[in-house]
Chain A
Amino acid sequence: MARLHLPHSLTARVLSAVMLILILGGCLVALSIWANGRLAARQAYDRLLLGAANDIAESVRIQDGEPFVDLPVSAFQLLAQAPDDRIFYAVQVPGGPFITGLDRDTVIEVPQQPGTAPFYFTADLNGESARFVRVARLFAEREFSGEVEVLVGQTLRARQMMTAGLMRDALLPMAVAGVLLLIMSWFVTRSALRPLEALSDDLTRRDPHDLTPMASDGLPRELQVMLTAMNRFMGRLDRQVDTMRNLIADTAHQLRTPVAAIRVQAEIAQDDPEPPARARALDRLLRRTRSLGTLLDQLLSRAMVIHRIDSAPRRPVDLREVALDVLEQSDHELVAPGVEVRLEIGETPVLVNADAFSLGEAAKNLLGNALRHGDPPVSIGATQEGNSAILWVRDHGPGPATPIADHIGDRFNRTTRSGEDSSGLGLSIVKSTAEAFDGTVEMARDETGFRAALSFPATRGIE
């Protein structure tokens, strides 16, 4: 199958489509005009034919027992309305004697038709196609009784000329209108496509590093949709570039202090000849190294979470499973060995639309905080409260001081209590996760302890 080759310019495409429509429409209209014109010409000249035939039939009289025609000139003047057409006429008794006519030798085959009503037919007249009418007149005289048949025929030249004239009169304005429409559609197309041109000009001129949103004011709705999508895409790109930049800066910033500390401890261990002092330095070195590992884990985890927030598809996640997974990974035993962690989950799934990995990381951080800063026993769980699906961690301590709670999630929000093995990144992960999935971080304190929770809009499960 040959593929229609479409021109590349949108204007050319629209114009060729318009032209195609105009031509097709024009053909259809021309066809209908031709059919109508033909019908009109046929009816007009058929009436003349019938009028002439009736005139002649009227003039038939019975004279000395024979039909006699006093041929009326008016009938022929009527027929001469088609001035260039040849005429045939005959008056005869059907199957009987010829009364009068143009030429006794020219015989026209009359189709058989019942009744005496006038009827039209088309036949050949001396080598030219012609239209005929047959009119019958009935006589019931003493001397003559029966039917007299009048045949009148005429060639088709006047009809064809009338059809052609009607066609010409109708087609000429139509052709002019078609050309005007084409010109108009050119202008309309150009003006409709002008915003698109302006947009592409804008894009071409733009700085390659400029990822700020483009102005969509005054643009057609269709283009605004496109532009919004593009702006969203640029925004995501911008955020990711930012994230990357932050990650690199954070990593460098975060690693500088511990690495310097490790170097100092290592130098002390190397320089101090005293075995107890050396053992102490080595012990500090080990702790610093472990803390550095945790820091790296958190940095990676945060980068991963922020990356996934923008890119990972959202799926229904059961918060109970998230809580279970966190518990089973048993990372808490490294942070606080010997502390018992309880799992509190119900029978029904608690579903949210989110990314399981990010939720897991956030939960891990909340649990880590509770173990590190709170008092045992610590419990983790997922519940549905109204329209909110909640993933929570609870301990029996007093919770953080209010100012800290207000600033949670800011990067490097380190306090005196956070100590050397905390980077303050944990709550930042929690906050980012909550915001990414339309949720909030809730901190609540009561007489029995402190609860940190991630609250999301609940999703109905997909059965």
Chain B
Amino acid sequence: MTADPRDELTEHLGALRAFAMSLTRNAATADDLVQDTLIKAWTNIDSFERGSNMRAWLFTILRNTFYSLRRKRQREVEDVDGSLSLALASKPDHDGRLNLRDFMQAFGKLPDTQREALVLVGVEGFSYEEAAETCAVAVGTIKSRVGRARATLAELLHLDEDEALELTDSVTAGIVGRQPAA
């Protein structure tokens, strides 16, 4: 294979932007982050191992860039602009109780470390080992971050309560006394 791996960069742009958005929660900052990542990837392409997972490699660069920028700008207030949820369709899922915007709003409330762990494992399908390597932490740490992220989302979105209502009968439903919707 003589193909230049740099030709592949474009294919990952969409996923990189989404990952950047999940970290920064700001569309403009996310695009700056993707730009920095592209430049670094381009100029350090020799450190990319041919045949290995390019997306994982790019995510690692993006993530490292994000945290080093943030350390530099420690004093600046984070500018979370709602672009994580506003970019999404606002209609509820056909079979679902969830509206993607509400879902992403809840997701945006998770701590950074949990957001990134959940994106890598839950969205990108990284194994726990791959995610641990990307985030430079122990496998157990990733597992617990993913677990806590899912538990918090379930709680914020009241998924557990809904389940209780579904699985039990109306008597229990009456006792549980759900809050009126909206």
Q: Do A and B come from one complex?
A: no
Residues of A that sit less than 8 Å from B by CB: none
